Structure 1
């Protein structure tokens, strides 16, 4: 329901310019919002985290949850943006928007947060038309999202901007054919693994195999189904999985993240969950809250009690900075040292790395 990046760089643009603020939403969310209620939180006048929910006929529960999250993030004020293609020239819609803004204002005030402004926009694109939700008469056009300072920062940080949330979800969309064909083989392999505990030599071999697979994938060599099965089975061992979290802050972070995405799309549940959490950790560590969020949502739907997924989701919802998440990956380097595994050297993160 909600997408929120853990950290947003600060830029000198005016929050009082709705056209500029709306244009910045795709860069912050990671995708262009459609049919959405978006809350931009403010902390002492500066841009904070951004929350999003699908528009629906019954919004009360969603509004209350968004208000709760805004308060948890330490917001003192919120700007609401209602994205609805049907908004232009729709008088009945204006009444609905005004009612939604009133419900939101009431929910926010219960948590001590002010609704600073509420805008309605037909599309988050150059030339899109916005107007205020309370009938104040203010209106204007959306500036170019591609020219937003936040969009420039996202490109410099290597973050991909998606045309829609649906396109973002395709990164982790499971392949039922591939998953189905591997399910029986994985169950057999997992049964053998459970019967014989992995030795340190086996763990070291499997960690090195995952690193090799990631580097080969970066060179265009896609693992076959047998290799995917071996990788998927190895991720169920906590020592292997906890060591591999370190790759998120190392020299092969990008290839490793591509491998976790490939595994998340091809493995069946429950093996897929470990790949999703590794993907979420990697995305969160580099500041890609949207990808981390959808990955964690999928993981927790499959295994609601997954400890790491729950911890990361709590951190993401509370707005914890990626730098704090990167600190967790250091444990993986300590485990690697104990196992005798040589991991890629740690990266030096610049000011925009998260």
Structure 2
């Protein structure tokens, strides 16, 4: 089961209009789902976490896990969408879909969540026909995913939508294995920072990270020396915790681009800290798909307290504005260290 996604600042999608709900899925997930089981949760009339898994992997155990995630998000109701290339035109597939959603409904009910509806569609595309899984006779056409209010809001928020989940994964995948292997040697042979470092050393490392973000944003390639210094700097909790604050500052864009570059370039275990910084930045601006992909990669690399906490928050459907409050610690640390961070941005909810 992939990490839950949350609509963030995007407009709430009508839960009683299947064509619009299905059309909104690519914008919420960050990619167009295929061969998938998608579960859309809601509470108090508002869209909550959106959960997706590969259709071929939906065993009874996986469905129990899916129901656990839905319940943990505080869901009251849920709507299932089965995306299957066979659609409703395959008799054996229809039986499989009904059995799948029946089991899911039972597991959700045991956890106090009602499966309000289940739809099947061959593809998430404009004009594709959806049907109700239980054979109720209802059907309709999917709205244009590129013109949905959720998609438009995502674009205005600066999010990129991907055709495939694999394309989203590539955002944090190691880009040049040969260079990463070389960096592992360079970083590993470098002298690690002393365990007890003066505040002035942490301050210089933060200022170096800020400078690297500006240079990277301007298209200047970072040197191996830059990357090595950043890798070791992120092992200092004062440096790392201060840099989380950049996610809510005026320099959030360049900082996030730097974390993405480090995620694609640094070797393990140094890469993990960059992935968590990227996840925090993406989550803070409402990009649940990128946050989830980054956290998946980080947690596969090594145990990490911040990664685990963010992953739990994402699964619970915690909203971006709540996550942003964690950046306050970074600003407080920056003040103690004598570092001038970019001014904090004002976030507001878009009308509509």
Whether 2:110 is the aligned partner of 1:102: answer no
User: Which residue matches 1:263?
Assistant: 262
Q: TM-score, normalised by structure 2?
A: 0.95
Of 325, 331, 334 in structure 2, the residue corresponding to residue 336 of structure 1 is 334
Counting only pairs closer than 5 Å after superposition, residues 18-37 of structure 1 correspond to structure 2 as 18-37=18-37
CA distance in 1, matches of 2:347, 2:136: 45
Compared CA separation, residues 201 and 131, structure 1 to 2 (3 A): same
Render the CA deviation track for 1:202-231: whole Å, top value 9, x for unaligned. 211110011111111111112122211111
CA distance in 2, matches of 1:68, 1:164: 26
User: Which residue matches 2:50?
Assistant: 50
Structure 2 unaligned residues grouped into runs of 5+: none
* Worse-superposed segment, 195-204 or 274-283: 195-204
Contact between 1:3 and 1:29, CA under 8 Å: does it hold in 2? Answer: no
- What secondary structure does 1:118 align onto? strand
* Worse-superposed segment, 264-273 or 173-182: 173-182
After TM superposition, the runs of 4+ consecutive aligned structure 1 residues lying more than 6 A away are none
User: Which residue matches 2:167?
Assistant: 167
Compared CA separation, residues 132 and 269, structure 1 to 2 (3 A): same
Compared CA separation, residues 37 and 13, structure 1 to 2 (3 A): closer
Deviation at 1:71, TM superposition (A): 1.1
Deviation at 1:174, TM superposition (A): 1.4
User: Which residue matches 1:293?
Assistant: 292
User: Which residue matches 2:348?
Assistant: 350
Deviation at 1:254, TM superposition (A): 0.6
Counting only pairs closer than 5 Å after superposition, residues 130-149 of structure 1 correspond to structure 2 as 130-149=130-149
Counting only pairs closer than 5 Å after superposition, residues 124-273 of structure 1 correspond to structure 2 as 124-175=124-175, 176-189=177-190, 192-195=191-194, 197-273=196-272
CA distance in 1, matches of 2:58, 2:14: 33
- What secondary structure does 2:325 align onto? helix
User: Which residue matches 1:90?
Assistant: 90
Of 323, 333, 339 in structure 1, the residue corresponding to residue 321 of structure 2 is 323
Contact between 1:36 and 1:55, CA under 8 Å: does it hold in 2? Answer: yes
Q: TM-score, normalised by structure 1?
A: 0.94
User: Which residue matches 2:274?
Assistant: 275
User: Which residue matches 1:80?
Assistant: 80
Compared CA separation, residues 194 and 14, structure 1 to 2 (3 A): closer
CA distance in 2, matches of 1:183, 1:11: 44
Compared CA separation, residues 46 and 333, structure 1 to 2 (3 A): closer
CA distance in 1, matches of 2:84, 2:192: 52
Contact between 2:245 and 2:331, CA under 8 Å: does it hold in 1? Answer: yes
Contact between 2:259 and 2:277, CA under 8 Å: does it hold in 1? Answer: yes
Deviation at 1:11, TM superposition (A): 4.1
Contact between 1:7 and 1:322, CA under 8 Å: does it hold in 2? Answer: no
CA distance in 1, matches of 2:330, 2:350: 24
Deviation at 1:188, TM superposition (A): 1.6
* Worse-superposed segment, 128-137 or 272-281: 128-137
Deviation at 1:193, TM superposition (A): 2.1
> How many aligned residue pairs are there?
350
- What secondary structure does 1:338 align onto? helix
Structure 1 unaligned residues grouped into runs of 5+: none
CA distance in 2, matches of 1:201, 1:268: 27
